[in-house]
Amino acid sequence: DTEVTQTPKHLVMGMTNKKSLKCEQHMGHRAMYWYKQKAKKPPELMFVYSYEKLSINESVPSRFSPECPNSSLLNLHLHALQPEDSALYLCASSQADLGYGYTFGSGTRLTVV
Amino acid sequence: GIQVEQSPPDLILQEGANSTLRCNFSDSVNNLQWFHQNPWGQLINLFYIPSGTKQNGRLSATTVATERYSLLYISSSQTTDSGVYFCAVERDSWGKLQFGAGTQVVVTP
């Protein structure tokens, strides 16, 4: 079991649907991240939250909307996705300022139909 | 942006063999980490190693920051070592990791 919990583990959604991915950590980390990973490729950073504030947005399309309700929770709201958005979405957390203790969740496998 | 190159891209080992994976990076970095992604997609942090040498069981890593490379050693490999090994560096913004393409390792019984 990892200390970063992601739900759901699998998600199939239509292009007109709205869904949310959820991530939770209880390690006291103040930095949280969303990554996207396509098959046979390395993870690519999407968003960074530091002390509950969005600090990095890697030019991600607006159909992906992150939210950090508190220091333990991170959400990714999905709307009007395209089939090419199908991927493994990984949440991670770490100590802020140093990037130490980087811990990934087990991911959500998203399929857009 | 910074370039991160890993070699070899693929590695097939017989159980019990030793191996070395390499990560080269094109510019100075604040931080370097090694991760293992198992066949089910779980990424595990192996080492936080901006410089020097660390050991954890059968795994060890060395980063020579002045020469811009890091090495990951796997000794007495086991089938559970199979998966993809990623090197990731942080340069411009803390926490913003740039991953290499990875080394796919298969350990056969």
Q: What is the pLDDT of residues B37-58, one digit of tens each?
A: 999 999 999 999 999 999 999 9
Instruction: For tokens 């990424």, name the residue.
Output: B43
Q: What number is the average pLDDT over the span A45-50? A: 94
Q: How far is A24 from chain B (nearest CA, A)?
A: 16
Query: Which of A13-22, A53-62, B13-22 has the weakest average pLDDT?
Result: A53-62
Q: What is the mean pLDDT of chain B?
A: 95
Residue A97 pLDDT > 90: no
Residue A100 pLDDT > 90: no
Contact B45 A101 (CB under 8 A): yes
Chain A residue numbers with beta carbons less than 8 Å from the beta carbon of B93 are 48, 55-56
Query: Which of A90-104, B5-19, B33-47, B95-109 has the weakest average pLDDT?
Result: A90-104
Residue A1 pLDDT > 70: no
Give the model's confidence band at B64: pLDDT under 50 very low, under 70 low, under 90 confident, else very high.
very high
Does residue A45 sit at the B interface (CB-CB below 8 Å)? yes
Residue A96 pLDDT > 90: no
Query: Which of A56-60, A99-103, B51-55, B103-107 has the weakest average pLDDT?
Result: A99-103
Q: How far is B5 from chain A (nearest CA, A)?
A: 12
Is the C-alpha dihedral spanning A92, A93, A96, A102 positive or negative?
negative
| Pairwise CA distance, residues A90 & A99, whole Å | 16
Token pair for A23: 């991530």
Q: What is the mean pLDDT of chain A?
A: 93
Does residue B43 sit at the A interface (CB-CB below 8 Å)? yes
pLDDT given at position B1: 83
Contact A99 B97 (CB under 8 A): yes
Backbone angles phi, psi at A43, to 5 degrees: -65, 145
Residue B109 pLDDT > 60: yes
Q: Give the other-Cβ count within 10 Å of B57's Cβ.
A: 7
Q: What number is the average pLDDT over the span A73-90? A: 97
Does residue B39 sit at the A interface (CB-CB below 8 Å)? no
pLDDT given at position B89: 94
